[in-house]
Structure 1
C-alpha cells in the first residue's frame, strides 16, 4: 500500500483508483503494485510470449474502466485478475497447446542434463506431465478457480469476485478441481480433504 504524504495513512487500491479518476497519472501506483503478479499468472497460464501482452492489456482495460470500479472493494486484485482471466480466455487455444506440450515432454529430456538435482526437483519434473494433462482436461470453469487460488494467490471469495460468480459456486468448483488434481497425482485415497 502507498502512504500518502499529506494524510500519513495507507491508501487502498480503491483510494488510488478513485483519485485516478481525477488525476489519471495516479493509476500508475495500481500498475506498480500489481503488474508483476498479473504477469506471473498470465505467464503460468500462457507462457512468457503472451503474458506481457495480456498483463499490459489488463491494465489498459482497468484504466479505461477505472470510473466503474467498486470503491467498496479496497483491494483491486480480484478485479484485475478478472480482467486478466477474460483476456486469457481469448488465448484458450494457446493455453491448451501449452498444457499438451508440458504433458508430452518426456521426463528424461527434462532431467538428463541435471543428474545432480535434488530428489524433490526430479520428482516434481516427473509429476509435471500428469498435472498438465489433468489441467487440460479440467472444465474451464473449474480450472479458472483452481488457478486463481493456486497461482494467483487469491482466496475463494476473491476468486469468486474475479470470476463474478457466487462464493459457493467457486467453492464447489475448487473442490472438484482439487479432486481431479489428486487423481492425477495418484492420490485417490486422499478423498475428503478438500
Structure 2
C-alpha cells in the first residue's frame, strides 16, 4: 500500500492520482470541519482543503509519510476565515433537551450549565490554543501531528494544550486531579 507521501509525489506528474488522498482522508477532515464550523460550512471547507492541498502538492514534505496532519493544518488555516461561523456554532452548543426529562434533574441541569460554561471558555480561548486543543481532541492527532498541522514545535503544542486545559478546568471548576486519562496513545504528562 502506498503512503500518502507516495501518492502526493505521483500526483505531481499524474494529477488524477491525488483522488486517492481524498478517498483516504476526506471523512476525518469533513468531520473535523463540521465540528468546528457546523455542517453547513463543512462541505465547503472540505472542498477548499483538498483544492489547496492539490495546488500545493509539489510543496509537500515527502519525508512525511502521513499527510493527515498537513491536511488538518490546511483546514485549520481555512477556518480562520470562518471564525464568525465557528463563534456562532459555539453559541449554539446545547446538550440534548430530552436529557432534562429524567429523574436526575439536578445532574442534568448541572450538565447544561457546564456545557454552556465550556462553550463560553472555548469561544474566549485564543484561536491558537483552541486550534491545538481541537486538533488533539477532535482531529485525534498526537502532539507531533498537531505540531505538523500547525507548523509549530512540539513544545509549543504542549504549551498551548496546557493553557487550553487550564482554561477549561477553570470554566468547569475542576482541578487537574479530577481529569480523566482517556487512554490516548500520547500520554506525555503536561505539567500545570
TM-score by shorter chain over 0.5: yes
Deviation string 1:68-126 (CA, Å, 9 cap, x unpaired) is 11100000011101110111110111111221232xx5x6xx4248736999x957555
Alignment of 1:121-132 (within 5 A): 122=108, 125-132=112-119
The alignment yields a C-alpha RMSD, in angstroms, of 2.5
Partner of 1:143: 130
SS in 2 for 1:73: coil
Partner of 2:73: 82
Q: Which runs of 5+ in 1 are unaligned?
A: 1-9
Once the two structures are TM-superposed, the CA of residue 189 in structure 1 deviates from its matched residue by 5.6
Equivalent residue pairs, number: 179
Partner of 2:182: none
Counterpart-to-counterpart distance in 2, 1:166 and 1:117: 49
Counterpart-to-counterpart distance in 2, 1:11 and 1:36: 19
Out of 159, 168, 173, the position equivalent to 1:172 is 159
Counterpart-to-counterpart distance in 2, 1:27 and 1:116: 50
Q: Is the 8 A contact 1:182 1:190 kept in 2?
A: no
> Normalised by the size of structure 1, how large is the TM-score?
0.83
Out of 46, 52, 71, the position equivalent to 2:43 is 52
Given the alignment of the two structures, is residue 35 of structure 1 paired with residue 26 of structure 2, yes or no?
Answer: yes
> Normalised by the size of structure 2, how large is the TM-score?
0.84
Counterpart-to-counterpart distance in 2, 1:18 and 1:125: 48
Q: Which runs of 5+ in 2 are unaligned?
A: 180-188
Comparing 21-30 with 123-132, greater Cα deviation is found at 123-132
Q: Is the 8 A contact 1:179 1:191 kept in 2?
A: no
Counterpart-to-counterpart distance in 1, 2:97 and 2:36: 23
Out of 111, 122, 128, the position equivalent to 2:97 is 111
Partner of 2:59: 68
SS in 2 for 1:11: coil
